[in-house]
Amino acid sequence: MPELPEVETTVRGLARVLEGRTMTRIETRRAGLRRPFPVDLAQALTGARVTGLSRRAKYGLIHTDRERTLVFHLGMSGRWRIDPGEIGKHDHLVLETSEGQALALNDARRFGFMLLIPTMELQAHALFAEIGVEPLGDELTAAHLARLAHGRKTDLKAFLLDQRNIAGLGNIYVAEALHRARLNPKRPASVLAMRNGAPSEHAKRLAPEIKAVLEAALQAGGSTLKDYRKADGSRGAFQDRFAVYGRDGEPCEHAGCQGTIKRIVQAGRSTFYCPTCQR
């Protein structure tokens, strides 16, 4: 599933061709994806000008001058295609702009969805009301991690994947951040806080490593494992720099570590880590 870097990369790619443009045609080529398309989508947005694009957690947001925002989630296999040429069977929505630009939302597995939400109601909407801080913003600090984790028995991986704590983190980047911070994903989240609630040394290591791995992934255009492509059709490249994800049985790359990457299953999902240096 596309995570924060992939969605952010998609939004930046779309902004180059959508921001300030008028949507002259919107065609839905099926009833919906995981959820039905908004019934008034074409009527509501045909002729609307795109005033900006943004991202919240793993959602892309296309803001318009009609005070309505088109929210998209890419699901497992969704991606936008700019100037797609021939429209394929998995292109389920086609959008054209006043500049003659065509865009298609492609989703082979159809786990994505779109919603049309009044812009003023976004923050209070059920999708966003309980989402945690953005990890690339100033709010994600060691102190913030400690406040959330103090006394928590849930494991570190589950704690970081919980979107109510931190927005947009997924399986790949949690694994990579924990490895960078040399923290075992099975440890309780409470290790991020001292008894008095102050941030522990673990939290002080982890907060900057979360930011660092996401920034590195953004610079690489995200990770392409199967279906994900950037809006221009090119692949992301961060998968070539994974330190642990998908590398079970391979040597740990931390300097001086003689360990081997191991795969375990937590809550039905693969976890990759080095038992030797991640304590």
Catalytic residues, by residue number, are: 2-3, 58, 269
Rounded CA separation 205/215 (Å): 16
**How many CB atoms are located within 10 Å of the residue 11 CB?**
20
Q: What is the CA radius of gyration of the chain?
A: 20
Question: Which residues are 237's β-sheet partners?
Answer: none
**How many CB atoms are located within 10 Å of the residue 191 CB?**
18
- Looking at residue 225, its amino acid is L
On whether the CB atoms of residues 275 and 206 are closer than 8 A, the answer is no
On whether the CB atoms of residues 181 and 174 are closer than 8 A, the answer is no
Rounded CA separation 114/34 (Å): 9
Burial track 62-101 (b if 16+ CB lie within 10 A, e otherwise): bbbeeebbbbbbbbbbbbbbbebeeeeebbbbbbbbeeeb
On whether the CB atoms of residues 194 and 200 are closer than 8 A, the answer is yes
DSSP 79-101: EEEES-SS--TTEEEEEEETTS-
Rounded CA separation 193/279 (Å): 16
- Orientation angle between helical segments 201-219 and 4-18, nearest 10 degrees: 40
Taking the chain, what is the end-to-end CA distance rounded to the nearest angstrom?
28
Cβ burial of 120 (10 Å; 0-12, 13-18, 19+) is: exposed
